[in-house]
């Protein structure tokens, strides 16, 4: 009888690996202190198929992109190393030094251990980055310029929201054209319309809608319930989408939820972003604390500037220097280490 020695050797090696892995897991379990995924697969992300994504969105399918934790399964699809670090350490991407971490993308699929919850996932992702990418970093602080959303002269003129907080239920199917991502404060859902407008449901931070009027070249932003943090986030999107680079930070001290409705000229917004809100390497003396001009120009159609629109709410935008925590990366591997203990347990993926 002919014996296939090669197959026997490979079979014995697989059995050996499984036994060793189980033994290692049993040995380290009592001493393990940091939360970790039970198992994880890490692969370089493939280029996006934009046509396929568009077709799926038109059918109401959510693109399989970004972070998602559902039950015992965690996915981080088409995410840069910088985005993964920001999510794991609960910071924004601009708080991390640049380099290749902003361009190289990965797909990570992992399994949470029994008894773990969704809130444990960021710490588990942190452990994965440290173990598989050999990430080492330290925290520092840096002064930078930002647009501060502050209380204006005369105090707030906004009305408090009449409806209460409504959390997003991830189990509710997406509406046609709607997509969902996991934000730092929970799921965020967004639905765009054919005219360039959109509705963004930020969960705990409120829901904001914006519409564009091509005839008057103006935009309207309104909400029946939004926190000042959520409003500042919406303003950041507008400033950066029109050429600005500064972040709008909530410094109002207001903790309630409010109704807002503002309208402003798109042309003025673009001009203001380029002329006043682009971060300069060496800002001129006296820039700290300089408020946006109260008499900012309006366009020929009469649409007010964003400055005036915000002022009508009893608020204001001002340039400020603020301290921000920075994550300084001391070391990170471009190619994550493989875990050969994974090979017999990755079937759930």
SS3 annotation, 240-273 = HHCCCCCCEEECCCCCCCEEEEEEEEHHHHHHHH
What pLDDT does 272 receive?
54
What pLDDT does 304 receive?
53
All residues at 6 or more sequence positions from 270 whose CB lies less than 8 Å from its CB, including other chains: 242, 243
Other C-beta atoms closer than 10 Å to the C-beta of 317 total 24
What pLDDT does 121 receive?
92
Please tell me the pTM assigned to this model. Answer: 0.58
Phi, psi at residue 277, to the nearest 5°? -115, 15
How far is 334 from 75, CA to CA, in rounded Å?
20
Helix orientation angle between 81-89 and 121-132, rounded to the nearest 10 degrees: 130
What pLDDT does 204 receive?
79
pLDDT < 70 stretches in the chain: 1-32, 56-63, 97-99, 164-165, 171, 182-186, 195-196, 242-244, 268-304, 339-349
Residue 257 contacts residue 227 (beta carbons within 8 Å): yes
Residue 264 contacts residue 305 (beta carbons within 8 Å): yes
Q: How far from the centroid of its chain's Cα atoms is residue 298's Cα?
A: 33
Coil vs helix vs strand at 346: helix
What pLDDT does 293 receive?
38
Coil vs helix vs strand at 324: strand
What pLDDT does 201 receive?
84
DSSP designation for 203: G
Coil vs helix vs strand at 200: strand
For residue 177 the two structure tokens come to: 């054209």
Count of helices and strands (H, E) across the chain? 7, 14
Closest CA to 149 of 310, 312, 257, 324: 310
For residue 175 the two structure tokens come to: 């509406």
Find the angle CA(30)-CA(36)-CA(38) to the nearest 5 degrees. 90
Q: What is the dihedral of CA 281, 90, 100, 38, to 10 degrees?
A: 170
What pLDDT does 211 receive?
84
**Which residue is it, tokens 């005036």?**
308
How far is 57 from 65, CA to CA, in rounded Å?
12
How far is 59 from 170, CA to CA, in rounded Å?
18
């Amino acid at each position: 009888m002919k014996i296939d020695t090669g197959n026997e050797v490979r079979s014995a090696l697989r059995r050996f690996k499984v036994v060793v892995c189980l033994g290692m897991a049993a040995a380290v379990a009592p001493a393990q202190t940091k939360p970790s995924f039970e198992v994880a697969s890490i692969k370089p992300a493939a280029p996006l198929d934009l046509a396929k994504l568009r077709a799926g969105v038109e059918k109401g399918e959510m693109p399989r992109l970004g972070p998602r934790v559902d039950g015992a399964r965690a996915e981080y699809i088409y995410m840069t190393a910088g985005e993964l670090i920001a999510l794991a350490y609960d910071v924004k991407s601009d708080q991390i030094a640049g380099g290749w971490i902003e361009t190289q993308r990965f797909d990570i699929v992992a399994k949470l251990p029994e008894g773990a919850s969704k809130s444990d996932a960021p710490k588990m992702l942190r452990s994965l980055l440290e173990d598989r990418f050999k990430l080492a970093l330290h925290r520092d602080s840096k002064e930078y310029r930002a647009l501060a959303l502050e209380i204006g002269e005369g105090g707030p003129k906004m009305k408090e929201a009449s409806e209460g907080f409504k959390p997003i239920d991830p189990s509710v199917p997406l509406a046609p054209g709607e997509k969902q991502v996991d934000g730092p404060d929970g799921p965020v859902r967004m639905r765009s319309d054919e005219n360039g407008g959109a509705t963004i449901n930020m969960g705990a931070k409120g829901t904001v809608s914006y519409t564009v009027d091509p005839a008057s070249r103006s935009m309207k932003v309104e909400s029946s319930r939004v926190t000042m943090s959520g409003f500042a986030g919406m303003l950041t999107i507008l400033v950066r989408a029109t050429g600005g680079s500064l972040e709008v930070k909530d410094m109002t001290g207001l903790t309630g939820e409010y109704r807002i409705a503002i309208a402003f000229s798109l042309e003025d917004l673009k001009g203001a972003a380029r002329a006043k809100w682009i971060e300069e390497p060496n800002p001129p003396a006296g820039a700290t604390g300089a408020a946006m001009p109260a008499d900012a120009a309006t366009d020929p159609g009469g649409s007010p500037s964003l400055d005036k629109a915000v002022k009508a709410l009893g608020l204001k935008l001002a340039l400020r220097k603020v301290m921000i925590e920075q994550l300084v990366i001391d070391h990170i591997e471009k190619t994550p280490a493989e875990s050969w203990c994974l090979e017999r347990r990755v079937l759930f993926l």
